[in-house]
Structure 1
Amino acid sequence: MSPSNAPSVGTSASPADLSLERQICYAMHTTVRAFDGVYRELLAEHGLSYPQYIALMTIGEHGPVTVGRLGELMHLDSGTLSPLLKRMEAAGLVGRARDPEDERRVVVSLTPVGRERLGQLGDVPGRIAERSGLSRQQLVDLHRTLRAITENLGAQA
């Protein structure tokens, strides 16, 4: 971004500061949409949506896990997570069962089919990185920056 196109930081906004192309939120929005398109394409090969992909990875890393904890880890509310898990269970990717220690909680775990599908997804991060056109270091730096922004904005909420 050239200095004249860079988002301004300061107190009062000029009309140029309110240009859509200069808004960080818009740059983030268009980047997310571009990533969504690439993920949609790559994950279609595996019969998954992006939220299902994230859920498989999260359960694979942390599972078995309660639905509540899965929601925390994925930053999703139960109204979004429950239908997602129902579809994944119908596809044979996950199993849900009442927690024997607390019947009010539901525990989600990968099925053998889910573990196999997760194993087939190992090339997705590399393919995404390649499609981004960024170097490994640029991706590491971007990830660090995005995490810091998320933390800072979340701390102010």
Structure 2
Amino acid sequence: MTSYNNPSKSLDGTPTAGDYQALATFRLALRRFMVFSESAAIEAGLRPQQHQALLIIKALSILSPPSVGEVAEHLLLRHHSAVELINRLVRMDLLLRFRDPEDRRRVRVALTPLGEEKLAVLATAHLEELRAVRPLLIKLLRHFDS
């Protein structure tokens, strides 16, 4: 097993062999998680971006239902692309769209019971996967502390 300790820190700040190993392993761990996430979404009948949208909407909804603009911002999408994505999720009965009662120009979105159910299944699987890779991620992140 490769050690990610960094006892031979370079004096000039250039990356060491251990740094390169840790970066490559960290990138691989992240990529494996992303592949897992994409596969889980597809298995649940969603496209990966649809899953991401549901997750963002749920997370933002803790304070109040997010606007379409806020969803676009968090998904790093242009507004019109977020509108198309939200339209598809509404047609799939995973989201509700409604006017903001305080500003009728603003459109807000919320998960439907079916959207909540699908997201809960996916979130449970993702949390289990993260718990499984947690020891490796902690080890790698500690490497970058030194």
Structure 2 length-normalised TM: 0.63
Residue number in structure 2 paired with 1:99:
100
Q: 1:75 to 1:27 in 2, by over 3 A?
A: farther
- Spell out, residue by residue over 1:26-45, the C-alpha distance to the aligned partner (whole angstroms, 9 max, x if none): 55543332212111222222
Task: Give the gaps of 5 or more residues in structure 1.
Answer: 146-157
**In the TM superposition, what is the alpha-carbon distance from 1:83 to its structure 2 partner?**
3.1
User: How many residues are paired up?
Assistant: 136
Q: 1:101 to 1:6 in 2, by over 3 A?
A: farther
Residue number in structure 1 paired with 2:56:
58
Conserved? CA contact 1:59–1:110, under 8 Å: yes
| Larger RCO (alpha carbons 8 Å, 6+ apart) | 2
Counterpart Cα distance in 2 of 1:129 and 1:89: 29
Cα RMSD of the aligned pairs, angstroms, is 3.8
Counterpart Cα distance in 1 of 2:127 and 2:4: 32
Counterpart Cα distance in 1 of 2:121 and 2:28: 28
Counterpart Cα distance in 2 of 1:130 and 1:59: 23
Matching of residues 6-155 of structure 1 within 5 Å: 11=12, 22=20, 27-63=25-61, 64-72=65-73, 74-79=74-79, 80-129=81-130, 131-132=132-133, 134-135=134-135, 141=138
Amino acid corresponding to residue 84 of structure 2 in structure 1: P
Counterpart Cα distance in 2 of 1:114 and 1:68: 20
**In the TM superposition, what is the alpha-carbon distance from 1:107 to its structure 2 partner?**
0.4
Conserved? CA contact 2:66–2:110, under 8 Å: yes
Amino acid corresponding to residue 94 of structure 1 in structure 2: L
Q: 1:57 to 1:18 in 2, by over 3 A?
A: same
Amino acid corresponding to residue 76 of structure 2 in structure 1: L
Conserved? CA contact 1:7–1:22, under 8 Å: no
Structure 1 length-normalised TM: 0.60
**SS of corresponding position for 1:65:** coil
Identical amino acids, percent of aligned pairs: 28
- Spell out, residue by residue over 1:64-106, the C-alpha distance to the aligned partner (whole angstroms, 9 max, x if none): 211222344x352334533322222221111223323223321
**In the TM superposition, what is the alpha-carbon distance from 1:108 to its structure 2 partner?**
0.8
Conserved? CA contact 1:6–1:22, under 8 Å: no
